[in-house]
Structure 1
Amino acid sequence: MRKVLYLPIEESARELEARLILAHFALRDGWRVVVGHQMLLTKIIHEFPVGVYFAKGTNAIQCNKIRPLKARGFGIVSIEEENVPLAEPLLIKNLMARDVAEMTDVYLAHGAFDAEVVTEANPAIDGKVEIVGVGRFDLLKPLFLEQRREKAAELRAKYGDFVLLNTNFGYANTFVGSPEEFYRKLLVGMGIVDESDPEEVALWQRALEFETRTMEGFKQLARALADEVPVVLRPHTSENIDTWHALAAEREWAGRLSVVREGPVVDWIHASRLVVQNSCTTGLEAKVMGRPVISFTPFDNGMAACFVANRVLRRIESVPEIVDLARRVAGGQALDGQLATGGREPMNRYVRDADDELVSERQWRAIRRKFDGASQTATEQDFPGKKFALKGAHAHYRVKFSVTTQQFREAFVMVSRALRGTFPVTLRVAGEGLFELSRTQDGD
């Protein structure tokens, strides 16, 4: 095994900057890093040396990527990105393939709840679990936010003092085509739902009803808010954005309703005056940042409590109540009292507190402790040295990962500046959205 850390990325806006923090620590300690487009990396990784692969999920699709790597001798580190917002054990268990414990050398849990559920579902993973927190929450720390002030000011100058509506309806408003296709192709097709288990089938039927009814509530809320204050509606990348463009096209809204899906969500949270979201990680990020945030739950069939945001944030069911809060914040009023969360659960059971240490540093420490001693330093000769092309990818996957070399450089410089990196790094473009990083040696 070589000292090479592979960081596949599915959604660049969500994952890239946090992975670059992890890459910084690996580079600091003499490892090489290959980071970028998950689909391209999966196709060509057989051309690269055996190293440590950082898997972003534990479902059957991810395990299918891991299995041949494990057979070649790769070390496997796993997280489950989709577990972050979940507070329902069955949903978490659904996301785990049966042989994930066998495939994984280190599992990085977001919090005690994640660790408990994963270990209960897969007892063989016990002893491999490290509770570290959520890597991308590092970006919410002041040392990173300070560098985003200018971007936040640009967004406010363009969109006004806006309310951010962050939606997460990847089932009811799926890019796949229809909820039925989503169920068949992704939930059943990826082994997430076992149709022989009535409890699992019933849970996902309720999930569809919950998303469908909540989405209708968000449409009503968007219309009501845009009558009075600037609104930016930011759909999840798994959604069909045309649904929201159709809403925006209903009338002019006096320029107060914008549908935008670009850039890291942290910039939009930072720039907003109020965040309204449905059961997703955005709510947790806004809470960590200290921004005014609520969970809008206009409908509940028992699913609302399945999501961490609805357990730790103020829940509001009424459109007029949210419109009133938006009026107040637009007038410069602080909302601390109105958004009090007395009686809500503490978040640190679900997401380990960052304390005074970066989550990415905890992640790297766990990886290094497991693999550094058994690995040899990689050299330039270990790598193929050519540029690979991404062919045949669905257009949606290009939307999910869309990073130019210049944007990659800017993101890495931002991370290095925040971490006060003092060592030079060599960057090589290995393919469309795929990059090799190494610490520059004296004389290079």
Structure 2
Amino acid sequence: MNNHNQKIISIPIETKIREFDGKLWVGLNAVERGYSVVLGPSFEIRHALEIIKPDIHITKDPGDGNIEFLKQMDDAGITVCGLDTEGAVFESIDRFAINKTELLNHIDAFYAWGEKPASAVRKHYSGTDKIHVTGNPRFDLLHPNRRFIYKERAKTLIEKYGRFILINGNFSSANPWSEKLINSSEEVYDPSSSSRISYNNRIFHLFIEVIYHLQTEFPETHIVIRPHPSEENETYEAAFRKYEHIHVEDARDVRDWIAGSSVVIHHDCTTGIESAMMGTPVVSYRPVQNEEYESRLPQIVSHEALSRRGLTEYIAAWLEADDSYKMTDEQTNELKQCFYNINGSAAELMCDVIESLDTTKQRNYDLLEPNLADSLKQRIKSSSLHNQAIAAYDGFHKVIGDESIPEQRQYRRQKFPILDRHEVIDTIEQMKPLLEIDAVSVKQVPRTNNTYYLRPE
């Protein structure tokens, strides 16, 4: 273990069920090297920086829309590394790259998921020494020698449902969490229109229709619908409430479900890539095709079904098969251009980058102190009066006709529900066979509810 005088790395999480395992994994790799790590929801870490006093911060949103915060971190002397939540699956790689140009002036390193997105960013930014091809650590855990974590977790799902088909939603524009936006999207639905919104609505409606069809075709097989974290679950629940073999599930990491499923169905979703990497049979259902609005990479590594009949035949074949899904060499090579760590470890490469950076800059944590109102708000959130204060605050806004504050809070809870200390400890225990340290200390950060220090014991 290297001695870094317990330098602190803060690692924020935006969507728990998508990012927690990967962020914890890179955090544990850093702990192995002698760092202290702070892990928790991004909104808590951001409001507790003056308590945490990080030396290094791995921002979860390295885009130009986050410039003011990154400038503040830069001015405070904190070494900042950028890791995209979605850094390989996008409609326009040029738009993705242009969105990075200004932020690179205010961070010390940018972690690219693959050579393809890295090359695109280099075209628009001269300081290419800041751009490092590492991959994203959440995909490290899909390697054959590490995915046992998900196979083990999936046992309880198989006990509950037996053989099941997993359908992953990716329809946040057609089925958004906000009821107001749902009504708006329904109003603009027009099958004859070529607009993005109409296209997404059409795909969503066709997915709903095909689920009804599949429960008829495979009456002995359960169907599990997994909404995107930004979708409204109630839409699916209302549509399929009467069908005992159709279930809407948003708990647990999606890879637990992928590991337990017989077949995965998606449309233009990163979960299609995760399924292919895990060896789970995966099909991209494309009843309508429009490459202008599709990312394509998830389609490339999946079997493609362009019709209801083609989808049904593919599922039927895999329900009877004993083999695992295997990508071709061509698919693997294509994927590696955007997912560099398909064969390696992004967590190790990210830690290598941190160790190569100058982390001895003079810190000025006073610049991170919240104003009086934010400080008071944070103290209330971490106190026993938390729930009462929120109820009163939200109630007041509802009385004055402002539903936006309660809705935002509900959305935030959907993306990041409670992270209990025991859950962190249990997940570390699951990863223990992959680690070279005997024990990790897990302690809650003062004035937070879901944020923890991870330190070597």
TM over 0.5: yes
Please list every run of 5 or more consecutive structure 2 residues that lacks an aligned counterpart in the other structure. Answer: 186-193, 364-377, 391-407
User: In the superposition, relative to structure 1, how do residues 400 and 113 fare at CA in structure 2: closer, same or farther (>3 Å)?
Assistant: same
Hey, what does 2:415 align to over in structure 1? 400
Q: CA shift at 1:405, angstroms? A: 1.6
Is 2:69 the counterpart of 1:53?
A: no
Hey, what does 1:436 align to over in structure 2? 453
User: In the superposition, relative to structure 1, how do residues 137 and 144 fare at CA in structure 2: closer, same or farther (>3 Å)?
Assistant: same
Residue 13 of structure 1 is aligned with which of 17, 41, 57?
17
Q: CA shift at 1:310, angstroms? A: 1.9
Residue 225 of structure 2 is aligned with which of 233, 236, 252?
233
Q: Which amino acid aligns with 2:409?
A: H
Residue 30 of structure 2 is aligned with which of 9, 26, 49?
26
User: In the superposition, relative to structure 1, how do residues 344 and 32 fare at CA in structure 2: closer, same or farther (>3 Å)?
Assistant: closer
User: In the superposition, relative to structure 1, how do residues 354 and 374 fare at CA in structure 2: closer, same or farther (>3 Å)?
Assistant: farther
Hey, what does 1:245 align to over in structure 2? 237
Q: Hey, what's the Cα distance between the residues in 1 that align with 2:168 and 2:138?
A: 17
Hey, what does 1:192 align to over in structure 2? none
Hey, what does 1:80 align to over in structure 2? 84
Residue 338 of structure 2 is aligned with which of 350, 353, 371?
350
User: In the superposition, relative to structure 1, how do residues 322 and 361 fare at CA in structure 2: closer, same or farther (>3 Å)?
Assistant: same
Hey, what does 1:130 align to over in structure 2? 132
Q: Hey, what's the Cα distance between the residues in 1 that align with 2:445 and 2:234?
A: 33
Q: Is the CA contact 1:305–1:311 (under 8 Å) kept in the aligned structure 2?
A: no
Q: Is the CA contact 2:78–2:361 (under 8 Å) kept in the aligned structure 1?
A: no
User: In the superposition, relative to structure 1, how do residues 226 and 178 fare at CA in structure 2: closer, same or farther (>3 Å)?
Assistant: same
Residue 290 of structure 2 is aligned with which of 283, 294, 301?
301
User: In the superposition, relative to structure 1, how do residues 423 and 173 fare at CA in structure 2: closer, same or farther (>3 Å)?
Assistant: same
Q: Hey, what's the Cα distance between the residues in 2 that align with 1:340 and 1:222?
A: 29
Q: Is the CA contact 1:2–1:49 (under 8 Å) kept in the aligned structure 2?
A: no
- Structure 1 residues 29-40: aligned runs within 5 Å: 29-40=33-44
Q: Hey, what's the Cα distance between the residues in 2 that align with 1:73 and 1:181?
A: 46
Is 2:268 the counterpart of 1:279?
A: yes
Q: Is the CA contact 1:329–1:335 (under 8 Å) kept in the aligned structure 2?
A: no
Hey, what does 1:415 align to over in structure 2? 431
Residue 109 of structure 1 is aligned with which of 95, 106, 112?
112
Q: Hey, what's the Cα distance between the residues in 1 that align with 2:346 and 2:33?
A: 17
Q: CA shift at 1:231, angstroms? A: 0.7
Structure number with the bigger relative contact order (C-alpha 8 A, sep ≥ 6) is 1
Please list every run of 5 or more consecutive structure 1 residues that lacks an aligned counterpart in the other structure. Answer: 184-204, 377-385
Look up the SS of the partner of 1:284 in the other structure: helix
Is 2:146 the counterpart of 1:144?
A: yes
Q: CA shift at 1:208, angstroms? A: 2.3
Q: Which amino acid aligns with 1:320?
A: R
Q: Hey, what's the Cα distance between the residues in 2 that align with 1:23 and 1:287?
A: 26
Q: Hey, what's the Cα distance between the residues in 1 that align with 2:30 and 2:64?
A: 28
Residue 368 of structure 1 is aligned with which of 346, 355, 366?
355
- Structure 1 residues 267-346: aligned runs within 5 Å: 267-303=256-292, 305-332=294-321, 334=323, 346=334
Q: Hey, what's the Cα distance between the residues in 2 that align with 1:146 and 1:53?
A: 30
User: In the superposition, relative to structure 1, how do residues 242 and 234 fare at CA in structure 2: closer, same or farther (>3 Å)?
Assistant: same
Q: Is the CA contact 2:100–2:121 (under 8 Å) kept in the aligned structure 1?
A: no
Look up the SS of the partner of 2:255 in the other structure: helix
Percentage of matched positions with identical amino acids: 20
Q: Which amino acid aligns with 2:453?
A: E
Hey, what does 1:169 align to over in structure 2? 171
RMSD: 3.0
Q: Hey, what's the Cα distance between the residues in 1 that align with 2:183 and 2:137?
A: 32
Look up the SS of the partner of 2:146 in the other structure: helix
Hey, what does 2:399 align to over in structure 1? none
Look up the SS of the partner of 2:412 in the other structure: helix
Q: Is the CA contact 2:279–2:325 (under 8 Å) kept in the aligned structure 1?
A: no
Q: Is the CA contact 1:110–1:133 (under 8 Å) kept in the aligned structure 2?
A: yes
Q: CA shift at 1:224, angstroms? A: 1.1
Aligned length in residues: 404
Q: Deviations over 1:251-278 (max 9, x none)?
A: 32xx211110111111111000111111
Q: Hey, what's the Cα distance between the residues in 2 that align with 1:294 and 1:317?
A: 10
Q: Is the CA contact 1:5–1:54 (under 8 Å) kept in the aligned structure 2?
A: yes
Q: Which amino acid aligns with 1:367?
A: I
